[in-house]
Amino acid sequence: IFLVIPLAKILSILGFNVVGSGKFIYFENLESGIFQELSIAEGCSGIVSIQLFLSAFISYIYISGYQFRIDIYLIIMLGILMAYFSNLFRMAVIIIIGHYWGMEALQFTHQYLGWLFFTFWLFIFWSIFEYSNNKYGIARVRSEK
pLDDT tens digits, one per residue of 20-64? 998 999 999 888 888 899 988 877 778 888 898 899 999 988 888
The rounded mean pLDDT for the chain is: 86
pTM of the full structure: 0.83
Separation between Cα atoms, residue 66 and residue 18, nearest integer Å: 45
Cα angle value 95/99/104 (rounded, 5°): 80
CB atoms near residue 64 (< 10 Å): 11
Pick from 4, 79, 77, 104: nearest CA to 45: 4
Q: How far is the CA of 10 from the CAs of 48, 72, 95, in angstroms?
A: 23, 31, 11
Q: pLDDT at residue 139 above 70?
A: no
Residue 1, classified by CB atoms within 10 Å of its CB into exposed (0-12), middle (13-18) or buried (19+), is exposed
